[in-house]
Amino acid sequence: MGEGTGGEVTETSHIRKSREQVVIRPNENLDPCAFVLFGATGDLTRRKIVPALYSLHCSGLLPDPFVVVAFARRDKDDSAFRADMKQAITEFAPQLSTEGAEWESFSARLYYHRSNLDDSEGYKNLGIRLAELDQEHKLGGNRLFYLATPPDNFSEIVHHLGEAGLNLTGDHKGWSRLIIEKPFGYDLETAKALNQELASVFKEDQVYRIDHYLGKETVQNILVLRFANQIFEPIWNKNYIDNIQITVAETLGMEGRGNYFEKSGITRDIVQNHALQVLTLIAMEPPVSLDADSVRDEKVKVLKAIRRFELDDVARYTVRGQYGHGDKDDLVGYRVEEGVAADSQTETFAAFQFSIENWRWAGVPFYVQAGKRMPKRVTEVQIQFKAIPEVLFARLGSGSLKPNRLTIRIQPDEGASMEIISKEPGPQMNIQPVRMDFKYGSAFDTPIRDAYERLILDAVRGDASLFARNDEVEEAWSIITPILNSWHNLTCPLFPNYAAGTWGPEAAQKLLTGGRGWNFPC
């Protein structure tokens, strides 16, 4: 109970104070730098990156000095680029005002460098421009390159950056870092090849592979929930947990991304990266510290312990689906979306039962499902505990004795809830599950920032703990690639096999055995 009156539960001032100490991170200790953006006229830049930079600027969280240099092919100058970005912020971050001093000071930091991505001269000139900006703004020679281009361009850009000496691996004033967007490779082989190319130009500690899920507050909170509370760790294992369910459901269909998605499918798009990242945080052992490599070492151990599937396992432990028309006019089937083949075999839904073969998790199924055009946008993890022995309350019947369940809501309605069994008020011994609920929205006054803000700031700080390391990405692909290959060799289900706006194909229900079922997010 806090200091409130009349039994009201409020926050004690010391909790509030200690929270402020954790949350507020002044920008004074951040190195000045130039943020060089490739793919500067693309969708990601407009929707996420520039709004994130501007929001950080408005909160005083960017280093000072700091400049953004857009590297792109289109014929533009600084002022046209500034006007474009203003429009992007108005469209995608309307809560941020672009009238007034804040915008003026931010837009004065935006520069445009015109060049084709395959033009060596363009990179040399970029070097010259950066040196000038260094002089003008005192940037300390620090550069953060952000590759927000389609993945086909990654190797080329990296190669040219190296050729122009912009990787600064030698003895130089300042640092050079590279943020690289997903998809990181198409399968294990291509991911390895990309890692090798990166390694030939940048050292691993210069490379920041983005998985934006790791920038989400609720994903970071998994570690805090597990390791900053005494009550969870002793029961976080096969002795107490029956199964774990991870759901990444989206209501959206293709939204003009059909061309990309046709080659990707939900497994490459969501499962190989976001869902497996969440799984590793749920399953990992406590790291020795929170530094980047300690955390990532433990995550890699989980990935290594996941059983790799043979053809038979793929048939048994995986389900794929593709949506057809739903019951509303706007819920069109996948095959009629723009950029999608009329006989497409691409999966828009997938479900898996993974096994983690280590001491902690042997025998506990990890169910993962991800889908487009589901009834609800929700990402959550459900930890389903084992049932209690039906002795004491046996006469009440098993229906009332639901096992405890911890739900970690990653989005929306960020928070966590625990289902516990309680006695219903009244003369009878009636018992039923009730929910203890924690909601970010009401527990904290601080609004949740977009994941990109946190990740960009971490890269500026040189903290790679929320970025994927080379071996982590390869391990994840080594789990997924055999599944994708086996799907190719197995007979494909008759697509479409679920209606848009439903929870996926029938077969996904049968994946859960032993009396278990999906706990659909409500």
Q: Considering the complex, what minimum distance in angstroms separates the CB of residue 375 from ligand BG6?
A: 16
> Which residue number places its CB atom closest to ligand BG6?
269
Q: Which is nearer to ligand BG6, 250 or 414 (CB)?
A: 250
**What is the C-alpha to C-alpha distance for residues 325 and 334, in angstroms, rounded to an integer?**
8
Q: Considering the complex, what minimum distance in angstroms separates the CB of residue 330 from ligand BG6?
A: 18
Instruction: For residue 384, give the 3-state DSSP assignment.
Output: strand
**Minimal CA–CA distance to 109: which of 24, 32, 42?**
32
Query: From residue 173 to residue 202, what is the string marking binding to ligand BG6 with x (rule CB under 6 A)?
Result: ---------x--------------------
| Contact indicator for 508, 369 with CB cutoff of 8 Å | yes
Q: What share of the chain is helix, strand, coil (3-state, %, to 5)?
A: 40, 20, 40
Q: Is residue 380 involved in binding ligand BG6 (CB under 6 A)?
A: no
Alpha helices by DSSP H, 284-397:
292-305, 311-317
C-alpha distance across the termini of the chain, in Å? 30
Q: Which is nearer to ligand BG6, 122 or 151 (CB)?
A: 151
DSSP structure string for 398-415 = GGG-PPPEEEEEEESS-E
Contact residue for ligand BG6 among 84, 134, 269, 453 (CB under 6 A): 269
Q: Which residues of 465-485 are buried (b: 16+ CB within 10 A; e: fewer)?
A: bbbbbbbbbbbbbbbbbbbbe
Catalytic residue list contains 113: no
Q: Is residue 134 involved in binding ligand BG6 (CB under 6 A)?
A: no
Q: Considering the complex, what minimum distance in angstroms separates the CB of residue 47 from ligand BG6?
A: 10
CA–CA distance from 322 to each of 245, 261, 345 (Å)?
A: 21, 12, 8
**What is the C-alpha to C-alpha distance for residues 3 and 5, in angstroms, rounded to an integer?**
7
**Neighbouring C-beta atoms of residue 248, cutoff 10 Å:** 24
Q: Is residue 250 involved in binding ligand BG6 (CB under 6 A)?
A: yes
Q: Considering the complex, what minimum distance in angstroms separates the CB of residue 94 from ligand BG6?
A: 18
Q: Which is nearer to ligand BG6, 201 or 480 (CB)?
A: 480
Instruction: For residue 368, give the 3-state DSSP assignment.
Output: strand
Q: Considering the complex, what minimum distance in angstroms separates the CB of residue 212 from ligand BG6?
A: 6
Q: Which is nearer to ligand BG6, 160 or 212 (CB)?
A: 212
Size of the site for ligand BG6 (CB under 6 A): 4
Q: Which is nearer to ligand BG6, 112 or 213 (CB)?
A: 213
Which residues in the 206-225 window bind ligand BG6 by CB under 6 A? 212
Q: Which amino acid is at 240?
A: Y
Q: Which is nearer to ligand BG6, 82 or 182 (CB)?
A: 182
| Contact indicator for 48, 81 with CB cutoff of 8 Å | no
- The tokens describing 340, both together, are 């999608």
Q: Which is nearer to ligand BG6, 254 or 479 (CB)?
A: 254
**What is the C-alpha to C-alpha distance for residues 376 and 381, in angstroms, rounded to an integer?**
15
**What is the C-alpha to C-alpha distance for residues 235 and 231, in angstroms, rounded to an integer?**
8
Dihedral of the alpha carbons of 463, 468, 472, 477, in degrees to the nearest 10: -170
**Minimal CA–CA distance to 139: which of 65, 63, 71?**
65
**Neighbouring C-beta atoms of residue 517, cutoff 10 Å:** 10
> Which residue is catalytic, options 212, 274, 325, 488?
274
Q: Considering the complex, what minimum distance in angstroms separates the CB of residue 250 from ligand BG6?
A: 5
CA–CA distance from 334 to each of 18, 261, 328, 499, 517 (Å)?
A: 49, 10, 14, 10, 27
Q: Which is nearer to ligand BG6, 269 or 337 (CB)?
A: 269
Q: Which amino acid is at 274?
A: H
Q: Considering the complex, what minimum distance in angstroms separates the CB of residue 353 from ligand BG6?
A: 23
Q: Considering the complex, what minimum distance in angstroms separates the CB of residue 278 from ligand BG6?
A: 11
- Catalog residues that contact ligand BG6 under the rule CB under 6 A: 182, 212, 250, 269
Active site residues: 274
